[in-house]
Structure 1
Amino acid sequence: MKPTRRSTLALAVAAAAAPSVLRAQSAGEWRPTRPIRLVVPFAPSGSNDIVGRILAEPVGQILGQAFVVENRAGAGSVIGTEAVARAAPDGYTVLINSAHATVPAIVARVPYHAVNDFAGVAVAGFSPHVLVVNPNLPVRNAQELVALLKANPGRYNFASAGIGSGVHLAGELFRSTSDVQVEMVHYRGGGPAVAALMSGEAQFGTPTMASSIGQIRQGGVRALAVAAAQRSPALPDVPSAVEAGIPRFIFEEFFPILAPAGTPPNVLSALGAAFRTAIQQNAGKLSEMAGVAPRPGYETPEQVMTLVREGVDQYTAILRAAGVQPE
């Protein structure tokens, strides 16, 4: 067949475009072609759910595909986290779990490896826990709470967000550093735990700031101290642990975003860039709604997983010093 002027022009254009196509392919840029699951291994309205939903929409807009938040609660985050560890490493399933580094320290038989079975994507930020009580409890500060608990060993309920959760670990830290005996009640996430505090089913707890900041501001629970050396800008009227007279109660959570191990580097790069952009753009909302503050220094998968690894070591040391063994 004799080539026409049109076909010759088309071939010329294709030839000219070929180098750029090859450059794009060699750059390995990845873009999703279907919705991505963001697994939250806790019930709705907890800290991970709140932070995940703040970021899901802008990340989806950046990548051009919907980010669907999926709550898979149970076993202190183990059920949802295991589902991600076993998912295909193709970029279409990611995890946000602030309890990820605490679980190996407190759960005896974890069905996955917290470091080896995951790849780092980003870190949404850091946030201290808060010591809170039901408003009807007759205490106005942390020292009065400690005195009440010591005078009534085992009488009052502590609201945990589940075995292995950061709230559980923070509660164990408070219990050991304050030398009090309480009944540890495990709920299916931060939201249900705070709801139990508001209803009076539990009398005190150490929830994440993200899951309790709204109720603190509205008076549903009373905050006695922020588990940090300084006051939090998100709750400027609440004293720090040092000011409240419980200086050893320093505990903050971090929100790692992880993918299954074996996820290709170009996929991790695209996901990480999208999340970091969304985190930066929504820093004000993360602080206002969740008390979460982003930090620099987690731009690579290796940096994210180093933070997780160090967290596992740190939390294990805290619990063993408190005499707590895995359950």
Structure 2
Amino acid sequence: MIKVSMTLASLGVAALIPLTALAEGHASWQPDRPINIIVPWSAGGSTDQVTRVVAPILAEALGTDVVIVNQPGASGSIGTKAALDAPRDGYTWTANAVANNATYAVTGLIEGTSIEDYEIYLSVANVPVVSVNADSPYMDFAQLLEAMKTEGVTVGTAGVNSSGGMALAAIGEAAGGELAARMVTYDGGAPAVMAAASGEVAITTQLAVEQTEMIRAGRLRGLAVLSDQPLNVEGIDPIPPITDFIPDFKVAADYFGILIPTGAPDEVYATVEAIWTEKVATSPELMTYATDRGAVFAPSAGQDALDRAMPVITAEACARVTRGEAVVDPSEIGITCAAE
């Protein structure tokens, strides 16, 4: 875990006044004990990375310790449920790809939950990249896709509900059916990427932010980004969009952020939204992280965050139905899928 700490005395009165003003009529919340953020994936993955960038900003503005607790397992549902089961007092948060939290009920991993159980605060949008080990014989995505259709090549992901797992499923669907490729799951994106870099698996479909260092180091070779635009990151050759190979591939931005379960006092959410608007949305550290790792800098909070996230939430929930993976109809948690 990481512990980021800053005393109220070190902030000065001026640092708190704008947050009070931005709270729009709510009293500014001043926590009197540490805040836990449960990251339901292993250390080093995409959720863990961006949460560790944002945590010091929150700690400084709130004047308290922010403790990141990695609690991986079951495609992120174990740590997420722990956050939902904690007292709703504003001191236990979680972090994730927002579509995961919105769709755990659809796959039966957490019963009776939906995006309405959270207030959400988005930081970045991430894109998956299809990469192979540097020694792989596959030199472009078209060649690799043929192998994925006909051979039992191994693909490292953080599980079926992870961004990498969903990316692999989307590739199979867009390619016209089930792939022969075999998914190997890990407790997070970082170990899945390391497995591909070491040759333990042949491919990974995890997020760009989890792969860029290994690609820069020459241990992975990025063949396609799940986008309609090339991925351009300093120190890496441009990675072509998957639409160059599958023109009708459906692309939806995958938003990541912090989620605070509902039920806490209103001033908790108002204060965090004020901090998000004033501090996180202008953070040079978050901007640098996004630029260096191949993410999109996209902070938002409140209804704006939900509006941005709904396309990927709907896409992931309805894709589960299409692939026969849903145990709960998305309509039961307020998600409408287009008629077949």
TM-score, length basis structure 2: 0.80
Aligned residues: CA RMSD: 2.3
> Deviation at 1:244?
4.2
Amino acid in the other structure paired with 1:243: D
- Contact kept, 8 Å, 1:102 with 1:165, in 2: the verdict is no
- Contact kept, 8 Å, 1:172 with 1:319, in 2: the verdict is no
Q: 1:116 to 1:150 in 2, by over 3 A?
A: closer
Deviations 1:36-72 (A, max 9, x none): 1111100001000000111111221111112111101
Which residues of 2 match residues 233-312 of structure 1 at below 5 A?
Answer: 233-234=232-233, 237-245=238-246, 247-248=248-249, 250-276=251-277, 277-281=279-283, 282-295=285-298, 298-300=300-302, 302-312=303-313
Residue equivalent to 1:316: 317
The 1-side partners of 2:147 and 2:311 are apart by 35
Residue equivalent to 1:132: 131
Which residues of 2 match residues 1-327 of structure 1 at below 5 A?
Answer: 27-98=26-97, 99-105=100-106, 107-120=107-120, 122-152=121-151, 155-178=152-175, 179=177, 180-234=179-233, 237-245=238-246, 247-248=248-249, 250-276=251-277, 277-281=279-283, 282-295=285-298, 298-300=300-302, 302-321=303-322, 323-326=323-326
Rg larger for: 1
> Deviation at 1:202?
1.3
Amino acid in the other structure paired with 1:319: R
Amino acid in the other structure paired with 1:47: S
> Deviation at 1:310?
4.5
> Deviation at 1:316?
2.0
The 2-side partners of 1:241 and 1:226 are apart by 6
DSSP 3-state at the match of 2:243: coil
The alignment covers a number of residue pairs equal to 296
The 1-side partners of 2:268 and 2:74 are apart by 29
Gaps of 5+ in 1: 1-23
Amino acid in the other structure paired with 1:316: A
DSSP 3-state at the match of 1:33: coil
> Deviation at 1:182?
1.4
> Deviation at 1:247?
4.7
The 2-side partners of 1:174 and 1:251 are apart by 13
DSSP 3-state at the match of 2:77: helix
The 2-side partners of 1:139 and 1:207 are apart by 18
The 2-side partners of 1:199 and 1:177 are apart by 28
Q: 1:222 to 1:236 in 2, by over 3 A?
A: closer
Deviations 1:69-106 (A, max 9, x none): 1101011010111111112222211111013245344x
Q: 1:151 to 1:260 in 2, by over 3 A?
A: closer
The 2-side partners of 1:325 and 1:269 are apart by 37
TM-score, length basis structure 1: 0.83
- Contact kept, 8 Å, 1:241 with 1:250, in 2: the verdict is no
DSSP 3-state at the match of 1:53: helix
Deviations 1:127-172 (A, max 9, x none): 21111112222111100101222342xx211112123112111110
Gaps of 5+ in 2: 1-22, 328-340
> Deviation at 1:217?
1.3
Amino acid in the other structure paired with 1:265: D
The 2-side partners of 1:72 and 1:104 are apart by 19
- Contact kept, 8 Å, 1:190 with 1:207, in 2: the verdict is yes
The 2-side partners of 1:252 and 1:299 are apart by 16
The 2-side partners of 1:89 and 1:308 are apart by 23
Amino acid in the other structure paired with 1:267: V
> Deviation at 1:285?
2.0
Q: 1:157 to 1:283 in 2, by over 3 A?
A: same
> Deviation at 1:315?
0.9
Query: Between the two proteins, what is the percent identity of the paired residues?
Result: 25
The 2-side partners of 1:287 and 1:54 are apart by 10
Deviations 1:256-303 (A, max 9, x none): 31111112221111112223412421342221343222336x332x33
The 2-side partners of 1:308 and 1:114 are apart by 13
